Amino acid sequence: MESFVVSARKYRPQTFKSVVGQLSITQTLKSAVKNNQLAHAYLFCGPRGVGKTTCARIFAKAINCFSPTEENEPCNQCESCEAFNGNRSYNIHELDAASNNSVEDIRNLIEQVRITPRIGKYNVYIIDEVHMLSTSAFNAFLKTLEEPPAHAIFVLATTEKHKVLPTILSRCQVFDFNRIRIEDTVNHLKHVAQSENIKAEDQALRVIAQKSDGGMRDALSIFDQLVSFTGGDITYQKTIENLNILDYEYYFKVVDCILENKISELMLIYDDILRKGFDGLIFISGLSSHFRNLMMSKNPTTVKLIDAGADMEQKYLQQATKCSTNLLFGALQKLRECEFNYKTSKNQRLHVELTLMDIGFFQFNIENKKKKSAKGK
């Protein structure tokens, strides 16, 4: 039986071109390889799962490649590339600073640095989670990092740049990795789904992308989880069921009830949400995001900020036309107050219900003012 390989490993990029969402960084690294303008130390920082260690490995492979492509990508065919792809390269050394953070670990690394490469031009030392090094380990590393041998290049990776000593930062070229955009994540998940012959609805993939919070590794892990749950047919309904996400439709219904002053129905909808096991704070946070999206939909120039598919975007546009700017702004303020005070409230259900009523009556007062104004004319 063929062993299962998780998608995050199976579809891990092997070239700069296949890295998702970090175009400016990959172009800079390719240019450095092309012009042979290589620094002795780099610091890759950013959130988890956005490609820091992956880019470090591709970069290490590219600078030792014997026959790079015209686009300055590693060829993946020469002796050096094949050794790297087969996890038997003597040129690339990885150290996990989370578990190897003592002075002794760094001294062992410094001893390794003196050894010249067996194949290729450079020995590349990738130190992951570098912020986990102890202060004494950082200090022991400083001199080597400042004046390494000509054949040594260091690539440090961290999720917490602020914990890295300023003396280390000043010795490195710093690259800040971005969270991966939802559209980029969705497109990559579509590619994986097609490659694996898996059916996946666009809206389901968008939910996965939003849940992953800009991390591709997290998105692929969630994708694998849903493949197991759905048997290879990923639908929106099955996705929100498995990930325990509140259906967007609830938020549209809540706003419709507010607009129509149906306070009783509003209470019943919230009761249904609680019965399904959702926490009130999750509901309030989601409703805040919904009102924010409606506010963005009021202006054609800000519609692109709502991060929704074409169908969902149309629904936001339609509902936004029914809502006044005063209602949207007032609701956002009241929901913010509710969210802030939720954890300290002794009766959290009542706290949310009062907020919903408050928004409902706020809309009722807006409508009354309109009617009085119309009569006055």
pLDDT band for 3, please (50, 70, 90 cuts). Answer: low
Phi, psi of 167 (to 5 degrees): -65, -30
Q: Which domain holds residue 226?
A: 182-242
186 and 333 together in one domain: no
**C-alpha torsion 10→15→21→23, nearest 10:** 180
pLDDT tens, position by position, 54-99: 888 888 888 888 888 888 888 888 888 888 877 777 778 888 888 8
User: 208-222, 246-260, 360-374: which range is least confident on average?
Assistant: 360-374
56 and 134 together in one domain: yes
pLDDT at 1: 42
Coil/strand/helix, residue 94? strand
pLDDT tens, position by position, 325-346: 899 999 999 999 999 998 898 9
- Check if the beta carbon of residue 363 is closer than 8 Å to that of residue 259: yes
pLDDT band for 2, please (50, 70, 90 cuts). Answer: low
Mean pLDDT, to the nearest integer, of 222-250? 87
Quick one: residue 271, left, alpha or beta (phi over 0 = left, psi -120 to 50 = alpha)? alpha
The answer to the question of residue 376 being in a domain is no
274 and 325 together in one domain: yes
Looking at per-residue pLDDT, the higher value among 106 and 185 belongs to 185
115 and 130 together in one domain: yes
323 and 261 together in one domain: yes
pLDDT tens, position by position, 33-43: 888 888 888 99
Q: What is the CATH number of the domain that holds 224?
A: 1.10.8.60
Q: Tell which of 242, 268, 285 closes a domain.
A: 242
Cα angle for residues 153, 154, 158 (degrees, 5° grid)? 155
154 and 66 together in one domain: yes
Q: Tell which of 176, 203, 232 closes a domain.
A: 176
